[in-house]
Structure 1
Amino acid sequence: MGDPKYYERFGFRNFPDLILDGVPQEYFLTLTFEKNGARGIVEFHQGFSANC
């Protein structure tokens, strides 16, 4: 997640078929090894939502 103008220079791109709920689509970028890109709904592991 971040500023597209910054991350696109490193090869990160937005794939409209890759979704992270609650994050504006234009700021959710990925770096893939395949030309077709990625698709689906992204979920973080439960450990990232732990409360202390």
Structure 2
Amino acid sequence: MGLPDEKRVLKACGRARRVIIYAYGGSAVPLWWAGMSSRLRRLSNLSVL
């Protein structure tokens, strides 16, 4: 939940069958996703809401 860093997301995706991130933080969410999307799109077991 929130806006996790890349290391935490990769760790979760390596351990879990499915990972769902509920992104919240107001105007920070689009900025966070812009910086992370290119690195996280390759993770097939990750969903970002």
Higher relative strand content: 2
Identify which of structures 1 and 2 has the higher relative contact order when contacts are C-alpha pairs closer than 8 Å and 6+ apart: 2
Higher relative helix content: 2
Give the TM-score normalised by structure 2. Answer: 0.25
Q: Which structure has the larger Rg over C-alpha atoms?
A: 1
